[in-house]
Amino acid sequence: MFNRYFPLVFGVLALLAAAPAWATTAMDASKGQAAPVFDEDAALEKSRAAVGNSVGGLRFVDAEGRRIDLAQFQGKPLVVNMIYTSCAHFCGVLVRNLVEAVESAHGILGEGAFTVVSVGFDSKVDTPNRMRQWGETQGVDFGNWHLLAGDAINVRKLADAVGFTWAPSPIGFDHVAQTTLIDANGRVAYQVYGSNYDAPILVEPLKRIALGERLSLASLEGLVNRVRLFCTVYDPKTGRYEFDYSILISIIIGTLILASVGAIVVRAWLREHRRHRLA
């Protein structure tokens, strides 16, 4: 009797043995194609390779229904993070953490010094209204922060430009926890990874991008920006950036010492030059 059912038993065992391999190459039954599988290493490689890419000319709709072209944000740094509103946990953690970092950056740079956009990458679900509701639940309430929805083409182009990768999963989507900093010329300058990080991880490169391009000593603005760049430090006890006057005093003292030494050297050179002329 066992011999009669042996082929059936063998077939079931073979199917169970093959289950892991089948799971990693899950089939999309509606299309008869293998569904994409998230490859973390490849995703990080793509993200890092995106530094230097140009971002602009992509059109979205904000939470109020207004058309937005990313090119309009050029001229100042742009912070970009891509999320999906159906995410049960990690996207919310990422954005709430970003809210704290943005608040810290406002204290140094001012709210008008940079722009933030959160873009929904699940284009079928992440409508302007969904983005608005999602932003309210995450505490996004800044004049320089825009919640954007877009069609699949513009979302994909933005993702490719900033090096963002996602893939369907049983609970929604797997994706890189990534925040991208874009410079005033519209080029990817820096990537921040993780959903929960201390504010300086994002604020320090943002300071360099926002202030580092305007450090000319030939203007008062350049001098002020240099002081703001080097004399604001993060206090982990308060979670805020504060102006460190000791650094400024050290810079002033060092400058005065160098000036004094320079003056002594110049006077000595002039005396020696006059002595040789009279000899």
Cβ–Cβ under 8 Å, residues 62 and 146: yes
Q: Which residues contact 33 (CB under 8 A, 6 or more apart)?
A: 27
Q: CA geometry: angle at 212 spanning 207 and 216, to 5°?
A: 140
- Backbone angles phi and psi of 254, in degrees to 5: -60, -40
Q: How far apart are CA 258 and CA 266, in angstroms?
A: 12
Number of Cβ atoms within 10 Å of the Cβ of 36 = 13
Which residue is it, tokens 């810079």?
Answer: 251
pLDDT of the residue at 232: 58
- Compute the distance between CA of residue 121 and CA of residue 109 in angstroms, rounded to an integer: 29
In the block, residue with structure tokens 């050029």: 74
pLDDT, one tens digit for every residue, the chain (279 residues): 444 444 443 343 333 333 333 233 444 434 455 556 789 999 999 999 999 999 988 999 999 999 999 999 999 999 999 999 999 888 999 999 999 999 989 988 888 899 999 999 999 999 999 999 999 999 999 999 999 999 999 999 999 999 999 999 988 999 999 999 999 999 999 999 998 888 999 998 998 898 865 434 344 444 444 545 445 555 666 666 555 445 445 555 666 677 677 778 777 777 776 777 766
**Chain-centre distance of CA 171, in angstroms?**
25
Q: How many residues does the chain have?
A: 279
Element (H, E) at 27: strand 27-28
Q: What is the pLDDT of residues 13-41, one digit of tens each?
A: 333 333 333 233 444 434 455 556 789 99
Q: Which of 181, 141, 154 is nearest to 61 (CA)?
A: 154
Question: Which residue stretches of the chain are H helix?
Answer: 2-24, 40-49, 90-109, 128-138, 152-162, 199-212, 220-231, 245-278
User: What is the per-residue pLDDT for 249?
Assistant: 52
Q: How far apart are CA 133 and CA 42, in angstroms?
A: 33
Element (H, E) at 167: strand 166-169
Q: Which pLDDT score is estimated for 243?
A: 54
DSSP secondary structure code for residue 187 in this structure: B
Closest CA to 158 of 83, 99, 208, 91: 83
Answer whether 163's CB lies under 8 Å from 188's CB: yes
**Domains, the chain, ordered by start:** 40-218 (3.40.30.10)
At 3 the pLDDT is: 46
pLDDT number for residue 118: 97
> Cα 87 from chain centroid?
19
DSSP string, 101-122: HHHHHHHHH-GGG-EEEEEES-
